[in-house]
A and B are shown apart, each in its own frame.
Chain A
Amino acid sequence: MRLWLKRLYRLYFQSDPFKAGLCLLAALTGVSILLGLAWLLGKALWDLGISAWGVDFLRLVLGALWVLLVLFGNALLLVWVERKVAGHMQWRIGPKEVGPFGLLQSIADAVKLMGKELVSPRYVDKPLYLLAPFLIFMPCVVVLLVIPFDPHLQIRDINVGIVLILAFSSLTSIAVFMAGWGSVNKYSLLGGMRSISQQIAYEIPMVLSIVPVVMLSGSLSLKGIVEAQKVPYLLLQPVAFFIYLISAVAEVNRTPFDLPEAESELVAGYHIEYSGMRFAMFFLAEYTNLFIVSALLTTFFLAGYKGPWLPGWAWFFIKTYLVVFVIMWFRWTFPRVRFDQLLNFSWKFLIPLAMLNLVVTGGVLKL
């Protein structure tokens, strides 16, 4: 066993380009096979119809597996991508030594965090402090339930999907505030306060930019919206698209709107007292939320899984990760805004603009 581990170690760290390429190829093949499998299963189940209880149960089990795959696969991938993207934007190469092209970097991080102590400070408000990581993780799982990855790959097409998503993503701000308040730390308290007012400020323009989409498509189900898009709504609703993009960046607390965890002001913000796996939950939620808002942007404005030649899920992931890349690009280019500027930008500019956009859309549709 020991020898085997050492061999593995040597493969990790002293791999030549050939071996590295091989590893990458194997990893890619594995992921493709998994994706294809999930797609096929979804398709088969779709064809079976959804009346039978047994099929529902099967969908549930497969759906849970799929969600886990997306959740963890996406987080591992995005952490690596982010560090690599940051590296290349900053004239360096980023993770390189851990596995081929540093691909195993995020796995090493995850395992390390798994073996890290869970410190729970003495003076914290125990229920709030302990519950916050649960609550921040929960919306990520639930929202993935309704996202249409493919015409056949949607775990459950709930007819009020948008409302469900809005309701659950609002929970994130509560979890963050619980973390900030429950830590009884002054920095985390400031972070929590900032977080909650930021999230509520940007939720309104976000909702107001979705309303025109609902007007155009006449459906609250995500699949219905995708199916209604003859052309991507980006072309019909460019203003709503940009409002949604900005609000999305703010909702997931990323630079230039990463005020709740502003490193240079609040040290680490609301998760300052969290260590090990508890911190990892916040980390995981951040990247999953990033994926989710990008996926929703794709669904609402970029015609979701629709596209020529390639299968639906391929189009979906390509578009989503393109949006993710753009948001990362923001992060490594812009400085952070100030807090009152952030709030007032929403209340004084985005919300009036979104309303105006709504009125114009309404007027044009009734002409």
Chain B
Amino acid sequence: MLRDFSFVLIFILLSFLLCFLVFVVPWVIAPRSKGVKAQDIYECGVDPFGSAWVRYFAPFYLYALIFVAFDVDVLYLFPVALGYWREGGSDRFLVLLIFLAFLVFPLAYAWRKGVFWWRP
């Protein structure tokens, strides 16, 4: 197990190293632009009004909230599914149904509350 994940760790490091090397090359061999606006923020060729970091509107956060309600539960489905077929009796199906019912509930609630209906 530990050896498995040492592989993963080494590969992560490898990818970072590779990326770093790839970024050093252009730093060395690429020419650089000069210009007053070269380092400015691009916005279709004109100066932007105000910052991009402003208060953002709600629908995205609502989606994020139901996702949180969902994702962890969905991940627990894997242990349920793993031995589902070969082990245990028909009562497993009932367990699955109960599990899914918990998933259906937030979805139905969000649907009812109009999260999926966009309006300005």
Contacts and interface: CB of A to CB of B under 8 A. Distances in A.
A11 interface: no
Interface in A67-118: 67-68, 113-118
A189 B52 contact: yes
Interface string B52-70: 1100100110011011001
A188 B42 CA distance: 10
Q: Determine chain A's interface SS by DSSP, over half rule.
A: helix
A119 B104 contact: no
A343 B116 CA distance: 8
Contacts, number: 190
Contacts of A163: 75, 78
Contacts of B89: 366
A218 B84 CA distance: 7
B4 A158 contact: yes
Interface string A228-270: 0000000000000000000000000000000000000001000
Interface in B21-71: 22-23, 25-27, 29-33, 38-44, 48, 51-53, 56, 59-60, 63-64, 66-67, 70-71
A278 B12 CA distance: 18
Nearest to A163: B78
B52 A119 contact: no
Interface residues of B, number: 68
A277 B25 contact: yes
A330 B44 CA distance: 29
Interface string B1-28: 0011101101110111011101101110
B93 A138 contact: no
A211 interface: yes
Contacts of B75: 163, 166, 207
B78 A155 contact: no
Contacts of B77: 207-208, 211, 358
Contact of A273 (B41, B82, B110): B41
A122 B13 CA distance: 29
Contact of B19 (A162, A273, A276, A281): A281
Nearest to B90: A366
Contacts of B25: 114, 277
Interface stretch (A23-31, A298-306, A321-329, A347-355): A347-355
Contacts of A56: 3
Given A121-B41, A133-B19, A351-B107, A145 B30 contact: no
Contacts of A123: 40-41
Interface in B70-120: 70-71, 74-75, 77-78, 81-86, 89-90, 92-93, 96-97, 100, 103-104, 107, 110-111, 116, 118
Interface of B: 3-5, 7-8, 10-12, 14-16, 18-20, 22-23, 25-27, 29-33, 38-44, 48, 51-53, 56, 59-60, 63-64, 66-67, 70-71, 74-75, 77-78, 81-86, 89-90, 92-93, 96-97, 100, 103-104, 107, 110-111, 116, 118
Interface of A: 56, 60, 63-64, 67-68, 113-123, 133-134, 137-138, 140-142, 145, 155-156, 158-159, 162-164, 166, 183-189, 193, 196-197, 200-201, 203-204, 207-208, 211-212, 214-216, 218-220, 267, 272-273, 276-278, 280-281, 340, 343-344, 347-348, 351-352, 355, 358-359, 362-363, 365-366
Given A142-B8, A203-B71, 15 more contacts: A60-B7, A114-B29, A116-B26, A140-B15, A159-B4, A184-B53, A185-B42, A185-B52, A186-B52, A211-B74, A218-B85, A352-B107, A362-B92, A365-B84, A366-B93
